[in-house]
Amino acid sequence: MNRPSIVILCPKEFRFTDHAATVERPFIDDVAELTTVWLDFNAPIPAEVLKAHALILWHGPLITAAVIAQMPHCQAIIRNGVGFDTVDIAAAAQAGIPVCNVPDYGTEEVADHALALTLALYRQLFPLDLEAKQLGWKINVAPKMRRLRTQTFGIIGLGRIGTAAALRAKAFGFRVIFYDPFAPTGTHKAIGVERVHSLEDLLKQADTVSIHCPLSTTTRAMIGADQIARMKPGSFLVNTARGDIVEKAAVFAALNRGHLAGAGLDVVEAEPLRTAAEAATPNLIVTCHAAFCSPEGMVEMRSTSAKIARAAVTGQPVWNRVN
């Protein structure tokens, strides 16, 4: 009797996983055949993927409605990560295919990264590092350095990562506010932060705006020129969520004219940066969509995806379903 097929689909540009799938294999080998497929981002989806009974999908290849229509055996699509914007979840639901994600694997890492970017901006770490390596210093950026206890840290999206970031910001002495229309009533009381009821109110009050919401039709380009204009002059913007939530041209323009004092971006629209001019934007810190990274987090993510795939092909209930 043929065993079900589980395929790990990974973009060629980023070797996130080993071809042997050493983390996933112990959870799958006794119930299914496991294959790793490397694919260029815009390449056609190969037949072995279309025939899969479960698909573990790394960020990259798009699983559109047309692709889903060609997957007659698929019992689950598992996004190896938090975001699931590369999958047409409505088409999958219509086809009876659960789409699952791994929402909690990088909670600590992403929250840590958001605060690391924030502290680097407040304490001017990179300009000070550059100045110190000139074999002498005058501390030219001293007027830009601020006491954290005088500052308001504004969070957009108080899910797992947003909550973790809020608690870290509180520990550093920030006044913490958040905007999230989906957070249950009383959330602010549970973790001891302040709730505001509109994005505009948060933008007006915050000295730092830190983004922790998912990318969706509602949040795409949610932060553009109009929203940045409502932020305080001299404020900071931090994004460790998804690049397409923020219009990068608006951020770069605000940095160039000095309205924003700095930005810390782990993700950017149409990433990576495309031009030398973008890279030369003043008071900009950019990291490589790496906020989620740690050996521990990667093992946790891959193990969870493998367990969900195993449940799908053995007829057990799946979890973390997003559609």
**Would you please indicate which residues are annotated as catalytic (active-site) residues?**
242, 271, 289
Element (H, E) at 34: strand 33-39
**CA–CA distance, 320 with 56 (Å, rounded to integer):** 14
Quickly list DSSP for 241-258.
Answer: S-GGGB-HHHHHHHHHHT
Cα 133 from Cα 98, distance rounded (Å):
53
| Residues forming a β-bridge with 54 | 6
Q: Nearest to residue 153, comparing CAs of 202, 84, 217?
A: 202
CA angle 197, 209, 292 (to 5 degrees): 115
Provide the H-helix boundaries in the chain: 25-28, 47-50, 65-68, 89-94, 107-122, 125-132, 160-171, 187-191, 199-205, 225-230, 248-257, 276-279, 295-313
CA distance 71 to 52: 7
- 3-state secondary structure string, 287-307? CCCCCCCCHHHHHHHHHHHHH
- Helices assigned H by DSSP within 14-73: 25-28, 47-50, 65-68
**Residue 183: which residues within 8 A CB-CB, separation 6 or more?**
158, 195
